[in-house]
């Protein structure tokens, strides 16, 4: 039996997450991935923004930093640049990272700074009561989209890849093992790594859209998931409504902090 | 610190002196975003920081710049950002975060004319109230204002020392004139500078309270990665650092955040008195307008008027007690500043109607001329109050 408690601040339980929320599954996968890699707890710094997912940092026994809405990526950048031996993991959500924090997200990816970003995508602002987010699918209801969301959605993984991330993967909470494997690979990658974790919000999104309880929504994720290898052979029409899972990119690029170290090494003697 | 020193004479600007002061104070991480009239600070540091083993980072905006310096400070590094009015506005949210989480850092605001894009290349002192109350919620803040190139160096060092000592963000309020003026300076050598480093915990890992209600009101601060694993949040928190909604815990935190500054106001408040001994008219000013004020004092003295100058080096916390005391000896105040009277209101509050407070202001981008101040002095010297 895996000992989760060694990584958790059990005295801070119960979690604030609602029954049926997928975020706890992401937490489990994350903790297992860290354990698999054998990372020292002191060597891990977890940084989050604001939102349901971002409350994760309060429950894990690492150096934890719960920041302001949208800005987690910038705090994490400061931590990594100042202390590069820390494993810096960013916990964020679709609203936190791609709406209010969108600019920081694409620039962190552009720099290919060695951050591991776990982005919980639940298509909604859960904590504030179900407002429309940049990933709410067109036509779906939200408390601020009572007639249906009218906007095109962000492809979060595609955005990171286009901006320069060196590891990008998407997994869903219906497959915790895959999620764990992707997170482990993301932490190992030296560069900006994104794992987009599809996670249901039955309370603020599912109920309004009559998608059932948490389990029903996880069943839907399982039904709609298409492996990337298969998706490559499918037409856009065939992919409508599907969730493509897999590793989209995993390649070495020059990494921001390491490149900066070269400048320090070259000029430090000149002081 | 003496004006002269063993060092070589150099002709540099205030912005360069700020960068030099930061390096001398031990700053090793700077994140910023280009904005006139502060950009030279970033330019100098982008070249110099790697030579000190430090890191310079140009961020995507000012929101990111302040986020990065708070993150970096948590690893035990001294950090700074520099900006001007519009960028300072963007930093306000995370400035409050640094206050709430008690993360030392220095934010330089080289003030230019506002509001909005305003006067990017021209001086102003329009942000003194933004420095005080720009972020939301009740809070204390420390802000310093230098009036010369050499003093910019000294106050930059002091800004870091106060930030480290009181675990708080410190704002250095320069203005465009101080930022861009060239002056001959002798910068002090390393052994002439007092540098304060934050108190780090020495006790057991398990018993460490990152927000402990200590007697000094300033808890010891552990570096991320040093073994003291703890939680940092902008939410109201208890002594352990974890969020709480308990009124008694929130009161305790809010009182401590206030007291660590208010209890130490004498240590933080710093001002200079010029020809105040026999002054009947007292001028109060700060930053570049204090230079014009000093000149006006000399001119007025030549005209036989007993005028003196109180020049604030610490803007916040405000020297209200000290002003109150001086008010017993003088018959009126003239507050000289490049805004519509932001600090004049504070002086009025401190004086509480006992003597009159007059203002000399300018907000059109031109500096205040000593003759403009002299005219006011002459006008008031002849008035029976």
> Which member of B65, B225, B234 has the closest CB to residue A86?
B225
Residues 88 to 127 of A: which have CB under 8 A from any B CB? 103-104, 107
Pair B101, B232: CB distance under 8 Å? yes
Record the tokens describing residue A243, joined without a space: 């969730």
Verify whether the Cβ–Cβ distance B75 to A107 is below 8 Å.
Answer: no
B207 pLDDT tier (thresholds 50, 70, 90): very high
DSSP codes of every residue in B45-112:
HHHHGGGGT-EEEE-SSHHHHHHHHHHHHTTT-EEEEEE-HHHHHHHHHHHHHHHHHT--EEEEEEEE
In a mutational test of the B interface, the residue from A16, A34, A62, A63 whose CB has the highest number of chain B CBs within 10 Å is A63
Q: What percent of chain B has a predicted confidence (pLDDT) above 90?
A: 97
Predicted confidence at residue A243, as pLDDT, reads: 97
Task: For B153-189, write each residue's pLDDT tens digit.
Answer: 999 999 999 999 999 999 999 999 999 999 999 999 9
The string of pLDDT tens digits covering residues A151-180 is 999 999 999 999 999 999 999 999 999 999
Mutate to test the interface with B, among A43, A50, A78 (most CBs of B within 10 A): A78
| CATH 3.40.50.920 segments of chain B | 272-381
b/e burial code for range A72-89 (CB count within 10 A of at least 16 → b): bbbbbbbbbbbbbebbbb
Tell me the mean pLDDT in the region B190-197. Answer: 95
Cβ–Cβ below 8 Å for A74 and B68: yes
Inspect the interface and report whether the beta carbons of B60 and A47 lie closer than 8 Å. no
Domain(s) labelled CATH 3.40.50.970 in chain B stretch across: 9-192
Cα A28 from Cα A43, distance rounded (Å):
19
Name the residue facing A45 among B94, B97, B224 (closest C-beta).
Answer: B224
pLDDT at B2: 44
Tell me, what DSSP letter sits at residue B128? H
Give me the CATH code for the B272-381 domain, please: 3.40.50.920
Name the DSSP letter for residue A3.
Answer: -
What is the distance between the terminal CA atoms of chain A, rounded to a whole angstrom? Answer: 55
Question: Which structural domains are found in chain A, ordered by start?
Answer: 16-270 (3.40.50.970)
Which of A58, A107, A270 has the CB atom closest to B242's CB atom?
Answer: A58
pLDDT digits (tens, 9 = 90+) for B32-55: 999 999 999 999 999 999 999 999
Distance from C-alpha of B80 to C-alpha of A232, rounded to nearest angstrom = 47
Give residue B84's pLDDT: 98
Q: Tokens in use for B229?
A: 């694993």
Note whether ipTM > 0.90 here. Answer: yes
| A269: closest CA of chain B, how far (Å) | 7
Q: What is the pLDDT of residues A53-85, one digit of tens each?
A: 999 999 999 999 999 999 999 999 999 999 999
User: Nearest by CB to A67, which of B52, B67, B230?
Assistant: B67
Choosing among 3.40.50.10680, 3.10.129.10, 3.90.120.10, 3.40.50.970, the CATH entry for B9-192 is 3.40.50.970
């Amino acid at each position: 039996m895996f000992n989760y408690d060694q990584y958790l601040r059990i005295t801070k339980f119960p979690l604030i997450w609602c029954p049926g929320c997928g975020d706890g599954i992401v937490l489990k996968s994350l903790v297992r991935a860290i354990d698999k890699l054998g990372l020292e707890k002191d060597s891990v710094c977890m940084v989050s923004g604001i939102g349901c997912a971002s409350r994760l940092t309060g429950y894990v026994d690492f150096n934890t930093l719960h920041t302001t809405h949208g800005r987690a990526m910038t705090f994490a950048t400061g931590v990594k640049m100042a202390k590069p031996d820390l494993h810096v993991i960013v916990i964020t959500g679709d609203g936190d990272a791609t709406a209010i924090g969108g600019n920081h997200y694409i620039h962190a990816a552009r720099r290919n700074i060695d951050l591991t970003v776990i982005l919980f995508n639940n298509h909604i602002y859960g904590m504030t009561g179900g407002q429309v987010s940049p990933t709410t699918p067109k036509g779906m209801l939200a408390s601020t989209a009572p007639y249906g969301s009218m906007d095109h959605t962000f492809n979060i993984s595609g955005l990171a890849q286009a901006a320069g991330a060196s590891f990008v993967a998407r997994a869903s909470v219906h497959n915790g093992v895959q999620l764990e494997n992707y997170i482990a690979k993301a932490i190992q990658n030296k560069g900006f790594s994104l794992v987009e974790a599809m996670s249901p919000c039955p309370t603020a999104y599912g109920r309004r859209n009559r998608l059932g309880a948490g389990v029903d929504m996880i069943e839907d994720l399982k039904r709609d998931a298409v492996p990337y290898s298969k998706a490559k052979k499918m037409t856009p029409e065939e992919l409508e409504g599907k969730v493509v899972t897999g590793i989209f990119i995993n390649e070495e690029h020059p990494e921001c902090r390491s490149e900066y170290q070269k400048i320090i090494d070259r000029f430090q003697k000149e002081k | 610190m003496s004006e002269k020193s063993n060092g070589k004479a150099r002709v540099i600007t205030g912005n360069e002196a700020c960068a030099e002061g930061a390096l001398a104070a031990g700053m090793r991480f700077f994140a910023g975003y280009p904005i006139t009239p502060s950009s030279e600070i970033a330019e100098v540091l982008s070249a110099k920081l790697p030579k000190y083993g430090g890191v310079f980072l140009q961020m995507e905006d000012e929101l990111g710049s302040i986020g990065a310096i708070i993150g970096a400070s948590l690893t035990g590094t001294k950090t700074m950002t520099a900006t001007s009015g519009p960028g300072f506005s963007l930093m306000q949210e995370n400035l409050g975060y640094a206050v709430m989480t008690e993360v030392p850092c220095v934010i330089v605001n080289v003030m230019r004319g506002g509001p909005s894009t305003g006067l990017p290349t021209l001086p102003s002192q329009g942000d003194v109230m933004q420095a005080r109350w720009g972020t939301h919620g009740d809070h204390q803040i420390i802000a310093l204002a230098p009036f010369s190139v050499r003093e910019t160096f000294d106050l930059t060092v002091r800004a870091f020392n106060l930030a480290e000592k009181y675990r708080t963000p410190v704002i250095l309020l320069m203005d465009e004139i101080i930022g861009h003026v060239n002056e001959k300076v002798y910068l002090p050598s390393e052994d002439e500078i007092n540098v304060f480093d934050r108190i780090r915990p020495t006790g057991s890992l398990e018993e460490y309270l990152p927000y402990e209600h200590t007697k000094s009101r300033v808890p010891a601060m552990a570096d991320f990665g040093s073994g003291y694993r703890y939680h940092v949040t902008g939410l109201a928190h208890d002594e352990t650092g974890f969020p709480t909604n308990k009124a008694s815990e929130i009161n305790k935190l809010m009182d401590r955040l206030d007291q660590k500054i208010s209890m130490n106001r004498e240590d933080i408040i710093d001002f200079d008195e010029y020809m105040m001994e026999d002054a009947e008219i007292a001028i109060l000013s700060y930053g570049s307008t204090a230079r014009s004020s000093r000149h006006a004092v000399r001119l007025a003295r030549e005209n036989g008027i007993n005028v003196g100058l109180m020049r604030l080096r610490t803007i916040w916390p405000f020297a209200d007690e000290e002003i109150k005391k001086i008010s017993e000896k003088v018959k009126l105040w003239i507050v000289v500043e490049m805004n519509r009277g932001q600090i004049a209101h504070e002086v009025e509050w401190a004086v509480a109607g006992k003597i009159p407070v007059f203002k000399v202001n300018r907000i059109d981008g031109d500096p205040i001329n000593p003759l403009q101040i002299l005219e006011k002095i002459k006008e008031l010297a002849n008035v029976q109050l």
